Structure 1
Amino acid sequence: MADRKKRSKNANLRVFMTILVVVATISVMIKLNRNFSFTVKVPLKFQNLSEDQILKSASTNTVEVTGKASGYDYFKYRFFSQDFPIDLSQLSRNKNRSYYVFNDENDALKGSLSGSEITSFEPDTVFFDLDRNFDKKIPVVPKYSITFAPGYGSLAGFKIKPDSITIRGPQTEVDTISQIFTEELKFQDVRNSKADSINLTFGKDIPLVNLAPGRVAYTLAVDKFTEGNVSVPLQLINVPSNVTAKVFPKRVNVIFNVNLSNYEQVKSSDFKVVVDFNEIDSLSTSLTPQVLEAPEYVRDIRLSESTVQYLLVK
């Protein structure tokens, strides 16, 4: 008997709760169908900016819209709010200022409030700071440090491609930029060639300036090097016309480093070592020989003799 009464009580409670929910739902729907005033803050969307222009700033990025609409439409809008588009190609202009004025009759919200009655916009005007876009080509300056393992090196060195890029932005910003840098790279104990790409940076934030490309490729060709030397005859230049010149010794050893693949190609005739008699010092009887010509694939060139003795005979 007690269980029957308990089940009957629970059934009555469920019926009551169902009726209560239905009544509440009907009441809410009736209220939502009524028109009432609303105020919403709408984000602005700027579009159709000309390619030769740049938007430096706007006086606001949102607008507060007041109007009248059904509660049902407003309820949907709160969950699916949309931005308000402003066509930058159709702005009004007064002296040096571009602006857009909201119109209560012509401007409408999108989404569920597209049919609402707008009573006011706050602010009612948006001001824009527009500038001309300028292009400028600037060099790329690589930032790197390299230490090679003993016996290794690079003939070509660190290379980037492209070695210059084009930046675009307002002239007031572009005119202050003369170069751009790569992010810094550090290589230690290098034995193998390197190739990759790296970001570019101005070293400070310049948000209105765009660059293309934003990365550059780099290469570092690494070779195994060995030391070589050849005996080269000294050539005398700028000898006074009324004398005969002699130097001692007549030949010097040219010592250099060369990559293994080019070692067999090096010849004595590839070098030109001169003694310049325009460098004569009346207080000295010696001159310093100079290397004027050498193959591109050798490096760290030095001479076995730092000075040579000379004699002038009339």
Structure 2
Amino acid sequence: MHKTLKSKILKSIKDKRINIFFLFLVLSFFILVITKLSATYTNTIMFLLKTEHVPSEEVIVSDKSHKLNITLKSQGFNLIKYYFKTPELAIDFSKNINKTDSLYIWNKSSGYTNLASQFDKNEEIINVTPDTLRFRYDVNAVKKVPVKLHTDIRFNQGYDLLDGFSVKPDSITIIGPHVIVDKINYINTDTLKLKKVKSNINSILNLKLPNTLNELKFSDKQVSLKASVSKFTEGIMKVPVIITNVPDSISVKYFPKKIALTYYTSLSNFNNIKIEDFEVVCDFSKLVKGQSYLHPEVTKIPKSVKNVKINQQQIEFIITE
């Protein structure tokens, strides 16, 4: 027991020595950092620029060259904040800037006062480069463009859309520079992906806005998408064949007089479909010389029907005087 107690005391002394060592190490490092940051340095720092008080009827066209390299003299405490993230400076377009037909021109001599006011008093500006900046501007344009829907929807077997998609809004207004707005003819939506759908669709889709988002304003950034989904079934109906554009000088006898159509419709509409809702026509003027049959075409289809197919592709005929 005596030996155990002795070993614990020795271990405790050693641990305390280690702790004291690390304490002095941390204090030494802290003092070193304070000493370094208290010293005065002269460093060149890149500043990104943001525009302020631009006339509402104009817009500045983005340009990656819009930045200033500023050499500052100050204590390390003041300069260290600029290294955590790229700093920004504001350019005031309501004063100390020249305007031409297509450019705003900022120069160091006239804009220095506004620039210096954005720094602390103990930060001295040694140099600014470049000494001149050119900002291209354009007059705002207003344009309304359609929304282009993108979907990848797979329905459960026997189900389909009842009346198509409803997108609101179906178009959006864009405000921005003519040079950019004129190139935009429509706005795409994100693709809506759904599988085994058998109930109504009600979704919000983001719009794929251009990369020049900072230069443009959009009336909407999302659209709502709705669609009714219903159980569908297949139907077959025999419809009379009509021959059109037959010359007055001849008579045409043809067979069959009726042909079967296969169609796809919702269960709720199935009993409402009538023969009169369809029309099948053979246009005699489209007859190719030497051909002994006509091609039937479906020229009238009810709105509630999809995927109409003609089960017979040829109508035989003979010409009588």
Give me the TM-score of the superposition, normalised by structure 2: 0.69
Aligned residue number for residue 53 of structure 2: 48
Describe the shift of the 1:259–1:241 C-alpha distance in structure 2 as closer, same or farther (beyond 3 A).
same
Match of 1:130 among 112, 136, 157: 136
Question: In 2, Cα distance between the equivalents of 1:194 and 1:306?
Answer: 37
Aligned residue number for residue 206 of structure 1: 212
Aligned residue number for residue 181 of structure 2: 174
**What SS is found at the alignment partner of 2:180?**
helix
| Alpha-carbon distance, 1:119 to partner | 8.1
What is the total number of aligned residue pairs between the two structures? 271
Q: Partner amino acid for 1:134?
A: A
Question: In 2, Cα distance between the equivalents of 1:242 and 1:105?
Answer: 94
Identity of aligned residues (%): 26
Q: Work out whether 1:268 is the aligned partner of 2:275.
A: yes
Match of 1:143 among 150, 159, 175: 150
The equivalences for 1:271-282 within 5 A come to 271-282=278-289
Q: Work out whether 1:223 is the aligned partner of 2:230.
A: yes
Gaps of 5+ in 2: 1-39
Aligned residue number for residue 109 of structure 1: 117
| Alpha-carbon distance, 1:298 to partner | 0.4
The 10-residue stretch of structure 1 (116-125 or 230-239) with the greater mean CA deviation from structure 2 = 116-125
Match of 1:297 among 304, 308, 317: 304
| Alpha-carbon distance, 1:63 to partner | 5.0
Preserved CA contact (<8 Å) 2:44 2:69: no
Q: Work out whether 1:87 is the aligned partner of 2:92.
A: yes
**What SS is found at the alignment partner of 1:241?**
coil
| Alpha-carbon distance, 1:148 to partner | 1.6
Aligned residue number for residue 319 of structure 2: 312
Q: Partner amino acid for 1:52?
A: E
| Alpha-carbon distance, 1:266 to partner | 0.8
Gaps of 5+ in 1: 1-35
Question: In 1, Cα distance between the equivalents of 2:167 and 2:72?
Answer: 54
Q: 1:168-218: per-residue Cα shift (whole Å, max 9, x none)?
A: 33333333333321112222222112111211115x633434433111222
Question: In 1, Cα distance between the equivalents of 2:66 and 2:108?
Answer: 12
| Alpha-carbon distance, 1:228 to partner | 1.6
Q: 1:222-281: per-residue Cα shift (whole Å, max 9, x none)?
A: 111111222222222111211222211111222211111211211111111112211323
Describe the shift of the 1:60–1:280 C-alpha distance in structure 2 as closer, same or farther (beyond 3 A).
closer
Question: In 2, Cα distance between the equivalents of 1:104 and 1:308?
Answer: 85
The 10-residue stretch of structure 1 (301-310 or 84-93) with the greater mean CA deviation from structure 2 = 84-93
